[in-house]
Amino acid sequence: MSTSQIVSYEPATGAEIWRGRRGNVDEVVDRARRAWPAWAAQPLSNRMELVRRFANEVRKDGEKLAAMIARETGKPLWEARTEVESVVAKVEISIRAYAERTAQRKLDNALQGTAALRHKPHGVMAVLGPYNFPAHLPNGHIVPALIAGNAIVFKPSEKTPATGEMLLRCFHRAGISAAVVQLLIGGPEEGQALVAHEGIDGVLFTGSAHAGIAINRKLAARPDKIVALEMGGNNPIVLWDTPKVTDAAALVIQSAFTSAGQRCSAARRLIVKSTMYDAVVGEVKRMADRIIVGAPFDEPAPFMGPVIDNAAADGLTESFLYLLSHGGKAIKHLVRPRDDLPFLSPAIIDVSRVKDRPDVELFGPLLQVYQVSDFDEAIAEANNTRFGLSASLIGGTPAEYNRFWANIRAGIINWNRPTNGASSAAPFGGVGLSGNHRPSAYYAADYCAYPVASNEMEQPRAIIGVGLREN
C-alpha cells in the first residue's frame, strides 16, 4: 500500500532532503488538455523564445540546481555541473533540430497548386524521467516537445523528485504556463495511470528495459499514441591491438565507472584480445584502485559517488557474488564500506569461464571481462546480448573498425572513444531491448510532431475527363 507522500533521501548520507504529496493524475491531465490548444496556437517563434528564456533561468539557478542534483543522486558536484550545462545546451540544439527535422516545405506547380509539408504537435505528452540524469534526460524530451507545440505532464523518478521540481520552476519562471508544463509527483502507480490515461497522446520514457517493456505492452493496442522508449544496455568494449595501453585503460575506466556505472551507455563488458589481456587488464585494475569514491562535495573531488540507494547496492553485491560463484574470477572485488549507505568500490570480474552469463543490465560500477582469441569471436561476443545501445572498439586498424562498425548491433558505435558521453547534437538510441527505434537527442523532434502532407489551391479547379454521359 503506497503512502500519500513521496520522500527523497540523499544517497551519500541517508538524510531526507524533500517530501511531497502524490499528484492526482486525472486532475493534472485534465488541466494539460485544457491548456494545450492555446499553447499549440502560439507562433513557433514565441515558443522558441520562451524555451530560450528557460535556458536563461537555468543559468541563473545553475549552482543551486547542480547542488540539488548532486545531493539527490549522489554524483560528484563536478558531474552535476556538467548535467546543468547539458540542460542549457539542449535548448539551442532542439531549436536547430526542429528546423532541420520538421521544417515546413512547399513545392509549387502552376497547374496542380501547391504541395505542402507541415508538422503538428500530438497533444499532451507524458514524460517519465530517470534518476541518473534527473534534469538532463527528461529535459531532452520536454524542450523538443514544447517547441513542437505539445503540453507536458512530467513525472520524475520517485527517487529524484526535488530535481524535477526545480527544473519545472525554471520553465514557469520563463513564462511558460504551469498548466502547459506540469509536475506529477508519484511512484510506479502514478506512472502506470499516466501512461494508460485517455487524455495522454504520447509517452516519452527513459529508464529500465523492464519498465519500458511494461509500457510497450500496456499500449500495444493503442497505435494512436506515440511511444518513445529509451532503455538500457549491456554495452561492450572490444579492446584490440594498441601500443597505448594507458590510454586504452583510461577509456575503459571512463566507460565503466563514470556516474558510478549508472549510465545506460556505460560499458558493462570488456572483451579483450588474449595477447593484450595481461597488460590492459592489469592497467585497468591499477587505475581502478586509484579511483576516489566519495560524497558529492568531498575534497579532493571524488571520481564517483554512491549508487542511488541501498537496494541498488544490495542487488549489485548479489550479482557480483553470483558471477563469482558460477566461475567468475575476481580481478577487483566489489567492496561496500558501510552497510547502511550505498557506496561501492569499482569492481572487475573475469567471466570468461562463466556459463550462461545473465544478459542483464547491471546498473552500477561492475565491469565484466571476457577473453577472446580472434576478431570474429570478439564481434560475436559483443553481439551476444538482447540489448543494443552503445559499443566501442579500442585499438585495432581502420579496416578492423570498418568490420566492427558493419557488424555490431548498436545505435552508438565508437572507435577509441568511451561508450558513454554521447553528443546531444546527434541521435541517441539503440536497438533490441535498448529502444523502439525512436532515438532521442537530436532526433527527438521526430517523435514530438507528426507530418501533414497537403495539396492546396486557392480556387477549386477540376474536370472529369472520362466515364460521364454526354449532356
Helix or strand holding residue 312 (H, E): helix 310-325
Sign of the four-CA dihedral 52, 54, 60, 65: negative
CB distance 137 to 206 below 8 Å: yes
Enumerate the H helices of 368-437 as residue ranges: 375-382, 398-407
Measured in residues, the chain has a length of 471
Cell digits of residue 282: 592489469
CB 112 within 8 A of CB 455: yes
Q: Are strands 366-372 and 347-350 parallel, antiparallel or unpaired?
A: parallel
Three cell numbers written together for 378: 570478439
Task: Please state whether beta strands 412-415 and 390-394 pair in parallel, antiparallel, or not at all (unpaired).
Answer: parallel
Active site residues per annotation: 230, 264
Do residues 76 and 420 lie in contact, with contact meaning Cβ atoms separated by under 8 Å? Answer: no
Beta bridge partners of 273: 372
Sheet with 124-128, edge to edge strand ranges: 181-183, 151-155, 124-128, 202-206, 226-230
Question: Alpha-carbon distance 148 to 151, whole Å?
Answer: 9
In Å, how far from its chain's centre is CA 61?
23
* Phi, psi of 122, rounded to the nearest 5 degrees: -75, -40
DSSP-assigned states of every residue in 187-229: -HHHHHHHHH-TT--EEEEES-HHHHHHHHHHTTT-TTSEEEE
> Residue 113's beta-bridge partner residues?
109
Determine the Cα–Cα distance for residues 56 and 436; give it in Å rounded to an integer.
Answer: 33
d(CA 10, CA 89): 27
The CA–CA distances, whole Å, from 283 to 241, 248, 398 equal: 15, 9, 24
Which residues touch 266 (CB under 8 Å, ≥6 apart)? 233, 235, 255, 256, 257, 258, 259, 419, 420
